[in-house]
Amino acid sequence: MKRPFVFLLLLAMSLGFTSCEDVIEVDPPTEEPRLIIDALIRVDNTEQFTEARVFITLTSSFFESPTPVSVDQITMLNVDNPGSSGPDSGVLNEVAPGVYSKFFTTAEISQDRWLLQVNYQGDIYVAFAEFVPSVPIDGVEQGDGSIFDEDDTEVIVTFTDEEQRNDFYLFDFDFGNFLATEDEFYQGQTFQFSYFYDEELEVGEQAEISILGIDQEFFNYMTTLIEQSEGDFGPFETPVVTVRGNFINATDIDNDGTFNNVGDPNNFALGYFAIAEEYKTTFVVE
């Protein structure tokens, strides 16, 4: 006779606990969609031509990844020598959704100052860049160290800094892994450091490692971007700042690069325009 009483008591307790659970609705942050312009132009001075390849996406809802978007026009022009090309010769062509491309001679793109202009829904977004030199990679080898996980893959990179310049570098370790560094403590010296892939790489898997020359402004931008991307931000823990690049909103531009009738400063695009000399090598996991 006690079992039904026990059952009813447990049922009542269960219902009591259930009734105490409140449904919490969280409104994620909302913001007007913004263009993201990924315009890092990589220059290999051993090649006759360089591809200017630009990726355009649009920010979407808080829980979704940016989506490719087509724009009205993208133009890349030589600001210091505007008469060197015709009015349409700098127009990039859309080769895939949100991907725009045009080839320039490497000799041309490695000099002067360049303007990238993106026209989208009545707004004009512009940024300026000029070629920044880099240095070759002396060598890469696999190490056997780890930081947090025994499955970490260590790669040891060696390069020699240029003594006559104050250099900033961006290393691209493939798979979306980047590292920004400056030569303040190794100027003109051969420098060696370790980088750890936090994902497990299979034996025989290849990674293309690049060193790119960048200026201080792009170095600051990438440092902030890398710090935020490594913060393991969950859906309720967003970065505290928007990583602003070098694009501004302008409605009219003179050939000398000065602005007339500057557009809405709050309606800016994210991303960066840079022209970087690149040296690269292939790393094979042992």
pLDDT digits (tens, 9 = 90+) for 226-275: 888 765 444 444 444 578 899 998 865 555 555 554 566 678 899 999 99
In three-state secondary structure terms, 47 is coil
pLDDT digits (tens, 9 = 90+) for 23-75: 555 444 556 788 999 999 999 999 999 999 999 999 875 556 789 999 999 99
Confidence of residue 81 (pLDDT cuts 50, 70, 90): confident
- List all residues 6 or more positions away from 155 whose beta carbon is below 8 Å from its beta carbon: 140, 141, 142, 143, 173, 194, 195, 196, 197, 207, 209, 283
Question: Which letter, b or e, does each residue of 31-63 get, where b requires 16 or more Cβ atoms within 10 Å of its Cβ?
Answer: eeebbbbbbbbbbeeeeeebbbbbbbbbbeeee
Range name among 4-8, 45-49, 105-109, 127-131 with the lowest pLDDT average: 4-8
* Residue ranges of domains in the chain, CATH in brackets: 35-133+237-278 (2.60.40)
- List all residues 6 or more positions away from 68 whose beta carbon is below 8 Å from its beta carbon: 55, 56, 57, 58, 96, 97, 98, 99
49-58 and 67-68: which strand pairing? antiparallel
pTM for the predicted model, two decimal places: 0.82
The DSSP bridge partners found for residue 221 are: none
